[in-house]
Amino acid sequence: MRSAERHQTIIDRLRGGNRISVQELVEATESSDMTIRRDLDYLAAQGVLKRVHGGAVPAMPSGVEPPYSLRAQAAVAAKQAIAQAAVAHLKDGDTVILDSGTTALEVARLLQQRAVTVMPLSLQVAQELADAPRVRLLIPGGEMRKGEQSLVGPLTVASLRALRFDVAVLSPCAFSLDAGLTAFDLGDAEVKQAALGVAARSIVLADGAKWDRAALAYVCAAERPDLIITDPSAPEDQRTLLMQRGTLVEVADPEESP
């Protein structure tokens, strides 16, 4: 098991708020005791957990967003497959809002040779597209969220509302049939709502780890997006229910990606 997969396993087991032991993780990941202890030390340095004798306990409340650096390592193959599927739904000439987040960054990397107009909602995505020869880049105003480098606040919302777009490509922090699309940050949720309001259609990128979870701030109902792109780890029964509600769900399989 790769380090990113082990880290995600550790995080998933911490979500219940209970202590986890090194031995439990050794068995769950089929890794050595030394490897697990190194993983725990790394995640402790990232502020995700606290080391205790023989294991670890959560360091973050459930309503706190995991660090960007940690999220960037998780489910990379799934995010890349989702990004490829999303880009296939964009055509040259489209005007696109591209959300913040690690999956949106993968989309930006695939748009570098495309003739599209993009308003990025993070400085990381903007930087990725800064030298793209055929991309017209529209930079919104706003306040930068430290660590995330996403743009939020009234200036960002005003920038969005001054324009109209063909597509909003959004990446929520969490997603569930009952709670809908949610975000950890209130300002981030407000920006996502504004993006939905000024785009003719919406594509939501949500890998399986985000399903059946909820964060603090409500964005929209689960069936509001026109298309949700996920990976095979998303619960099949929930995907079926969502399609019955009228939302298209596309599954991007990392093993089938070129």
Better-predicted residue by pLDDT, 82 or 174: 82
In the Cβ-directed half-sphere of 122, how many Cα atoms lie within 13 Å? 26
Is residue 142 scored above 90 in pLDDT?
Answer: yes
Which residues are CB-contacts of 168 (< 8 A; sequence separation ≥ 6)? 96, 97, 99, 195, 196, 198, 199, 201, 202, 203
Query: What does the block give as tokens for 132?
Result: 């793209």
Place of tokens 């396993």: 9
Confidence (pTM)? 0.77
pLDDT above 90: residue 221: yes
Q: Where are the domains of the chain?
A: 3-62, 71-256
Residue with the larger pLDDT of the pair 64 and 147: 147
What's the CATH fold of domain 71-256?
Rossmann fold (3.40.50)
Question: Which stretches within 119-232 are classed as H helix?
Answer: 123-129, 154-161, 186-198
Q: Judge contact between 107 and 169, C-beta under 8 A.
A: yes
**Angle 165-112-130 (CA atoms, 0-180°, nearest 5)?**
80
Smallest CA-to-CA distance from 150 within 42, 223, 68 is with 68
Confidence of residue 231 (pLDDT cuts 50, 70, 90): very high
Please give the helix or strand (H or E) that residue 115 lies within, else none.
none
What distance in Å separates the CA atoms of residue 195 and residue 172, rounded to the nearest whole number? 12
Pick the CATH number of 3-62 from 2.40.430.10, 1.10.10.10, 1.10.600.10, 1.10.287.70: 1.10.10.10
Lowest mean pLDDT: which of 12-21, 24-33, 174-183, 196-205?
A: 12-21
Strand 227-230 relative to strand 199-205, pairing: parallel
Asked whether residue 76 carries a pLDDT value surpassing 90, the answer given is no
Q: Are strands 117-120 and 227-230 parallel, antiparallel or unpaired?
A: unpaired
pLDDT tens readout for residues 110-120: 999 999 999 99
Tell me the pLDDT band of 214, cut-offs 50, 70 and 90. confident
Q: What percent of the chain has pLDDT over 90?
A: 61
Q: How far is CA 120 from CA 29, 136, 170, in A?
A: 37, 11, 11
For residue 252, what pLDDT band results from cuts at 50, 70 and 90? very high
Question: Mean pLDDT, to the nearest integer, of 147-158?
Answer: 93
Up-side HSE of residue 31: CA atoms within 13 Å toward CB? 22
pLDDT of residue 251: 96
- Per-residue model confidence as pLDDT tens digits over 4-63: 788 878 877 876 556 889 998 999 899 999 999 998 988 887 666 778 888 887 765 555
Mean pLDDT of the chain: 89
Structure confidence at residue 68 as a pLDDT band (50, 70, 90): low
Tokens of 225: 């997006």
pLDDT at 66 over 90: no
Q: Which residues pair with 51 in a beta bridge?
A: 56
Q: Do domains 3-62 and 71-256 have the same CATH topology?
A: no
